[in-house]
Structure formats: structure tokens, C-alpha cells
Amino acid sequence: MMSSLSNPSGDLSKWIRQVIQMFTWQFKRLYDRIGVAMRLDRVKSLAAESEDSSFLSHMDGDLEMQLFLLSFSNESLQMVRFGAEMVFSSKDSTITDEDIDRIIAKGEEATAELDAKMKKFAEDAIKFKMDDTGDLYDFDDEKLLHCCSYKEQVMGDSIDSVSIDIDMIPLGGKECLVKTSKGSITVLVCGDQEKPALITYPDVALNYMSCFQGLFFSPDSASLLLHNFCIYHIDAPGHELGAAVIPSDLPLLSVDDLADQVAEVVDFFGLKEVFCLGVTAGAYILTLFAMKYRERVRGLILVSPVCKAPSWTEWLYNKVLLNLLYFYGMCGLLKECLLHRYFSKELRSSMNGAESDVIQACRRLLDERQSLNVMRFLQAMNERHDLTEGLKKLPCKTLIFVGDCSPFHTESVYMNTMMEKKICALVEVQSCGSLVTEEHPYAMLIPIEFFLMGFGLYRQQLPLSAASSNGSNPAKPPSLTYSCIAPELLSPESLGIKLKPIKTRATIEI
């Protein structure tokens, strides 16, 4: 395999593809051999009971060859030996061509049986349960069905948590099905469509409910965001509530296709300029949208964004997740991997034996996802390209949030360094994962408020009594205007955040 690699100086992209294929083949080979080794001892113990298996103790060959020989039954071995002896040692044999054909047909039948057994062995090597409802090597279908029904019963009966349920607290608004050249997409429109537009895009396996409910359900957020914007919640294809499985004959969408799809949604509603709010994968899509359609985006609010092509470790990790999604759907292990992606260890750790309400809510909402639809979005993100060069030319003001416990913290900081300092600010939220909108949504409000002041957008002015009762500050007087991002966002101790040094200028006109 190594000898087939061409000179990298000739065609670098072709050489990289060959390296990827080589490593993929090596991983698959190792994966299959591990599965064979796991079952060889068991097969030997069963074969030791037969009279024709004594040759095993003298074999030092390949594992596959041992398994090949063991797969033949005693009758098959006897048939091969008898047929070979009769054909090759007898000169005056009465065996006809029809007899030979029958022997060959019998051998083909045994070969087909062997192929079926080998296929089953390979499937058993990789198809094992990874959640906490069954044994690791328990492949009994009835037990699996029992475990699934038990999980559904437990989930259906768990109503003690305060997790957000879509039937209990709907976001309101109007749900629209927008048909684009890349396929249909669901958009939830909340608010007065005469107001400026705010586009949201969630992370992988999430939708507007599971990604933005913590931010938009707070009263302070309503007076800031809903007062100033009409919200357009865009879900990734097949991620909306009650979504069906996307037909397999439809082509996979790339990240560029998803960005173009956002542009078609903007055109559908007749929007000239929009603000954008995205989380991780959604932040990447909206950043790409802002690069391709610069005149359409006024400002970006990005939460734990990524901007570079996936590293080797991320690429392999995503490949594991893709296989989990394909073979097991939204299983226990996959949900744990996603929760690790979204939340900090502090929040994921059980307190007094009970999970936090945020984690419980996320688990319940993940169960509603169609695994094959999630695969499509994750596959697109695993093939994303580098946006670094485009970031240097991005003209719109940008506010970046990232938790200091996020797996994408380094990349978010890198993204901030690549953008123009006068238009980009970075806010690091302490003891928080990637999903700041759910884990620490209140830490976002003050930075967003000052960010929006640069566009002449202010918090809704409340009566003095109401403001003093809930601890909120009254809105800024209309006579004050700010030309850019405010340089000071109160004290880090009071906000629970820490800020990267940002040098901006603010002019105040009275």
C-alpha cells in the first residue's frame, strides 16, 4: 500500500487523497482482524469437540485462514477429501462430468455458506451496544427490543425535570417550509417582520429549540432581542421538529450548499440585510454565508465558531460518530459524545446522582433527531474548507463567544486573531462549554447589548419600577449614540466572564 503512493511534489492533493485512503484501509483491516481475534478462541473451543479439528494445534498461520478452515463442517471436509481422491487417484473411474459438476456445485454451496458466516462474524465484531441498557456483547434481538422499549418507557415517564418540552413551552411564531434549489428547509419566524432580521443556525444534531431556548426564553433577552429583531430560526435540513428521514437518493449537501440555502431563505422573505447568530457548525455556515454575500450581512454573533478545515483528530473522531449514527442511531454513547461537544465537564457531572435540567432537556431533544439526517450535516462539516483567508476581508462587525472548556476554544481564539481588531471582539465565558446559549445564556446579554449599540439598537425601555424590581438597567437615552463596540463591558466578576483585551473607540454624542 505504501509503495503505491506517488511523488507528492507532482500532485499534492492527489497524494493527500492517497494517504487518506491508505490510512482508511489500514484502520479497516485492523478493525476486521480485531473482530476475528475476539472470536477465534470461542470458535476453537467449539471446533475442539469435533474429530477433524485436531490439526488446529499444529497451525501457526493467519487468523483468517484458521477461521476459514474452521468454518467448514465435518461433512464439507469429508466431501472435499472424498471428491479429490476419487477424481485424481482413479484411472478407471466411473465418475462422469455430471458428477464433477455436482461436486463443484457442492463446493460453491459451501463457499456461499462460508461467506455468510464470515459476514456475520464481521458484523458481530462492530455491531455491539454502547449504551447503558445492555451488555457489551449481547446481540439478542429480543433483548435489544426490550431495552429500547424500556428506554422509551423511562423517557416517557420522566416528567419531574424542568426541561423544556415543545408541547409545554412553544416558541411561538409561524413555521414556514421554504423550497430552495438545495431542497426544502424549515424556518420559524418570530416577531414583527418589519423589524431588522436576525438569522439563527444551530449546531450539529440541534435545532432552534434545543440550541437557543435558554437565550431567548429569558425576560432580559426578550427586551433586547425580540424588541429589536424579527427572529428567523433556520434549522439544518432534516433537523426540524418531527422531521422525516431525508430520502437516500437525494445528494449530500456541502457547506457551500448550506450557505447558499441560507441566501435563498433570505431572498424568500425579501430581506435585504440580516444579523446572524450561529453556534459552532451553524456559526461556520453563517460565516461562510457572510463571506459569499457580504452586502447581505450587517453583523455576526458567533458562539464557539470553527473556521479551519478539520484536523486529523477531529476528522477521525467525526468518522467514528458517523459510523455510530449509521449503525446504532442516537445511541447512548453517541449522545455522550455530543454532550461532551456541547457542555462543560462541570455541568455534565452528576450532582447528588441527578443530572442537571439542561442536560436532561438536551438528552430528550436529541432522542427526537433522525440519525441519518444528522449524518448528512456532520458529513458536510467533516469536509469543510478553511476560511482563514476570507476572514481577513470580512467587513461586518463580529462578536465571538466561547466557553473556556469548549473543544473549539483554540479555534475560536484563532478566528478572532484573523479578523480585523476594530470590528471583532472575543468574549470567553468561564466554566462553560461550547453551547453558551444554553449553559450560561445570561453571560451573553450585556456583551450583545453593547454590541448592538453600535448599530443604534437598544434594550426596550422599561418603567422605573419594573427595572428596579428585576435588577435591570433602564435603556440608554435616545440622545446617546455609539459608533462602535463599547470598550468596557462592566466587570468580569459581576458578569461571570473574562474578556480578551480589545481596543476599540467609542464616541458619545449628547
pLDDT for residue 359: 92
**pLDDT over 50 (residue 229):** yes
Residues 205, 369: contact at Cβ < 8 Å?
A: yes
Pick the CATH number of 174-499 from 3.40.50.1820, 3.40.50.300, 3.40.50.620, 3.40.50.720: 3.40.50.1820
pLDDT for residue 222: 79
Encode pLDDT of 309-330 as tens digits.
999 999 999 999 999 999 999 9
Residues 212, 342: contact at Cβ < 8 Å?
A: no
Question: Nine-digit cell at 19?
Answer: 494517504
Encode pLDDT of 91-123 as tens digits.
555 666 676 677 677 767 777 776 676 666 555
Question: How confident is the prediction for the chain on average, in pLDDT?
Answer: 74
Report pTM: 0.63
Encode pLDDT of 332-388 as tens digits.
999 999 999 999 998 988 666 678 889 999 999 999 999 999 999 999 999 999 999
Q: How confident is the model at residue 218 (pLDDT cuts 50, 70, 90)?
A: confident
Encode pLDDT of 327-338 as tens digits.
999 999 999 999
Mean pLDDT for 274-282 is 98
Domain positions in the chain: 2-126, 174-499
Residue 256 parent element (H or E): helix 255-268
pLDDT for residue 120: 62
Looking at per-residue confidence, does 188 or 18 come out higher?
188
Residues 430, 404: contact at Cβ < 8 Å?
A: yes
Distance CA 143, CA 147 (A): 6
pLDDT for residue 353: 64
The percentage of residues in the chain with a pLDDT greater than 70, rounded to a whole number, is 58
Looking at this protein, which amino acid is placed at residue 90? S
Residues 190, 233: contact at Cβ < 8 Å?
A: yes
**pLDDT over 60 (residue 298):** yes
Question: CA 109, 114, 115: angle at the middle one, nearest 5?
Answer: 100
The percentage of residues in the chain with a pLDDT greater than 90, rounded to a whole number, is 48
Other CB atoms closer than 10 Å to residue 182's CB: what's the count? Answer: 18
Q: Grid coordinates 458466516 are at which residue? A: 117
Mean pLDDT for 57-73 is 44
